[in-house]
């Protein structure tokens, strides 16, 4: 499987970065691609490129039974977060979109909620334990065979950060595609595996949501409203009504 990388000043050296993470994972038992060849500067392929082993399975975006699917997602995430990869081998987690202007979208219903979310996003984050995280963890980056995950792909953003970053990113995807109950079910399934986990802070929901740029004209008004409901639910927990004025 050949992956090509467009030049992006915000993500320099992308081909090497993903190859580096895959090489760190090569000795693990996770089902991840193996690096075959790397064209770091694009001198051979015309663009930076990474040749990886092809992995078995298919995406499963809308399962017939959601609870076993969520439990498998949680088990895979927990395995990632438990890997003994040291901080010195990894880039540090950073927030996406922190420096964006973030004006109130013209389609947004309650401007106070949006402004409160921006204030929370740009304020101090919770003090949480750090570990190895995928950083783009959601079911679109998993392949399945039968009832189990057969491959975990797209490791460009693997880094040292809070597990809540992976939890939040999967939560918003679940909320948009399957609704609030699925997003909560995913969190509950992860907590069952890690009963001593740090209490989940909705700051992570807000931080991840702020990195999305939904446009009702492109994404559909229904999806935009689900995104708004996700943010509204998060800010309702993090900030009280008096903080949203």
DSSP 52-100: EPPPP-B--SS-SSHHHHHHHHHHHHHHHHT----GGGSPBP--SSTTS
Contact between 91 and 16 under an 8 Å Cβ cutoff? The reply is no
Residue where a domain stops, chosen among 54, 79, 94: 54
In this predicted structure, what is the pLDDT of residue 238? 64
Residue where a domain stops, chosen among 12, 39, 54: 54
Residues 50, 74 share a domain: no
Residues 96, 61 share a domain: yes
Residues 61, 47 share a domain: no
Pairwise CA distance, residues 137 & 204, whole Å: 14
Residues 2, 50 share a domain: yes
Q: Which domain holds residue 178?
A: 56-244
Which whole number is the average pLDDT over 115-121? Answer: 96
Residues 64, 34 share a domain: no
Residues 83, 123 share a domain: yes
Which token pair is 61?
A: 């975006």
Residues 195, 103 share a domain: yes
Residues 48, 87 share a domain: no
Residues 15, 76 share a domain: no
Which whole number is the average pLDDT over 220-239? Answer: 91
Residues 61, 31 share a domain: no
Residues 99, 197 share a domain: yes
CATH code, 118: 3.90.1200.10
In this predicted structure, what is the pLDDT of residue 58? 97
Provide the CB-side half-sphere exposure for 45 (13 A, CA): 17
Confidence of residue 148 (pLDDT cuts 50, 70, 90): very high
Confidence of residue 10 (pLDDT cuts 50, 70, 90): confident
Residues 237, 216 share a domain: yes
Residues of the chain with pLDDT > 90: what percent? 92
Which whole number is the average pLDDT over 171-186? Answer: 98
In the chain, how many domains are there? 2
Q: What is the tens place of the pLDDT at every residue in 122-143? A: 999 999 999 999 999 999 999 9
């Amino acid at each position: 499987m050949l992956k090509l990388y467009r030049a992006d000043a915000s993500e320099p050296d992308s081909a090497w970065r993903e190859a580096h993470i895959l090489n760190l994972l090569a000795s693990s038992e996770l089902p991840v691609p193996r690096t075959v060849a790397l064209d770091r500067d694009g001198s051979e392929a015309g663009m930076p490129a990474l040749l990886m082993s092809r992995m078995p399975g298919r995406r499963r975006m809308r399962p017939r039974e959601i609870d076993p699917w969520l439990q498998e997602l949680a088990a895979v995430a927990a395995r990632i977060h438990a890997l003994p990869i040291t901080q010195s081998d990894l880039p540090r987690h950073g927030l996406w979109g922190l420096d964006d202007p973030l004006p109130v979208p013209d389609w947004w219903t309650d401007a106070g909620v949006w402004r409160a979310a921006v204030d929370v996003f740009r304020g101090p984050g919770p003090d949480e334990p750090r570990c190895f995280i995928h950083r783009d963890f959601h079911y679109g980056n998993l392949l399945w065979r039968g009832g189990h995950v057969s491959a975990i792909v797209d490791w460009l953003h693997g880094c040292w950060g809070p597990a809540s970053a992976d939890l939040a990113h999967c939560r918003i995807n679940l909320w948009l595609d399957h609704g609030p109950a699925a997003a909560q079910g995913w969190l509950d399934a992860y907590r069952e595996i890690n009963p001593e986990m740090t209490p989940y802070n909705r700051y992570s929901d807000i931080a991840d949501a702020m990195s999305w740029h939904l446009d009702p004209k492109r994404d559909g008004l229904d999806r935009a409203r689900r995104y708004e409901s996700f943010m509204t639910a998060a800010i309702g927990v993090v900030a009280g009504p008096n903080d949203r004025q």
